[in-house]
Amino acid sequence: MRVSRGIRLSLRVVALGYLFVLLAVPIGVILWRTFEPGLSEFLASISTPAARSALNLSLLIVAITVPVNVVFGVATALALVRGRFRGRGLLQAVVDLPFAVSPIVVGVALIMLWGAGGWFGALDQAGFQVIFGIPGMVLATIFVTLPFVVREVEPVLHEIGQEQEQAASTLGANGWQTFWRITLPAIRWGLTYGVVLTVARALGEFGAVIMVSSGFPGVSQTLTLLVHSRYIDDHNTYGAYAAATLLMGIALVVLLLMTVLDRKRSDR
């Protein structure tokens, strides 16, 4: 399509203008508001006891979610790619399901299952509190991050095929050896990409977690809940900006990692 210089320029101006107003200006404003009172103010705001415990809780949830997702995600991907069984199509659909469910609905569903009046309410009455406890927040995070590892590992497994694995087992390697020496090295970049996505989403999840958290500062607040409660409950606008900027910093690191990894993956 030959486009005259005038149209080309005006399209460019419209597109960049849209991105500028929607993305650049708001982010610029929040950065300015965060750092305008000085770096020490920012550091003080993100190192209060409540903020520290929020960071710790967020990291704890990530530390539980990631290994669980790696183990079950790789197993699911293997079963979906290499397995031949009835209902595989159904399993595929179930893996995609979390993408289609609103975070709030995830929270409600977990309450209906694990809550005091839910199907597994007996657990709650026995003293093992899932909802309004850390287990509930972990379950919510695993629910929303479940597809990432599976969906990033699956295409790689398809691509590498089975020749090398078969060669290894013909040479006498057992299942575990084949997995550690052949399959895992082949899927490592896809797996890493899936883990990065999982970490980012786990740190950033808000809707599902707020539904199942009791939300006490210093006890059951993650970083995202801290941003919310500082703004809504404490009317501490600056504190909310500072905590949001911290999360934004983490997100930027993640974005950078994703770009680097994406290049690595396509190099392979």
- Regarding 231 and contact with other proteins (CB under 8 A), the answer is yes
- Regarding 236 and contact with other proteins (CB under 8 A), the answer is no
Which region among 22-30, 35-43, 44-52, 213-221 touches other proteins (by CB under 8 A)?
Answer: 22-30
Least Å distance, CB 157 to other proteins, is 8
Nearest to 212 by CA among 145, 146, 141, 117: 141
- By CB under 8 A, the residues from 237 to 266 that bind other proteins are 240-241, 244, 247-248, 251-252, 254-255, 258-259, 262
Least Å distance, CB 198 to other proteins, is 9
Q: What gap in Å lies between CA 135 and CA 140, rounded to an integer?
A: 9
Of 104 and 122, which has the nearer Cβ to other proteins? 104
Buried b (16+ CB within 10 A) or exposed e, 202-240: bbbbeebbbbbbebebeebbbbbbbbbbbbeeeebeebb
Nearest to 183 by CA among 209, 206, 162: 162
Least Å distance, CB 76 to other proteins, is 5
- The CA-CA-CA angle for residues 47, 49, 52, to 5°, reads 55
Among 36, 43, 63, 96, binds other proteins (CB under 8 A): 96
Of 48 and 165, which has the nearer Cβ to other proteins? 165
- By CB under 8 A, the residues from 70 to 89 that bind other proteins are 72, 75-76, 78-85, 87-89
- Regarding 130 and contact with other proteins (CB under 8 A), the answer is no
- The answer to whether the CB of 116 falls within 8 A of the CB of 131 is yes
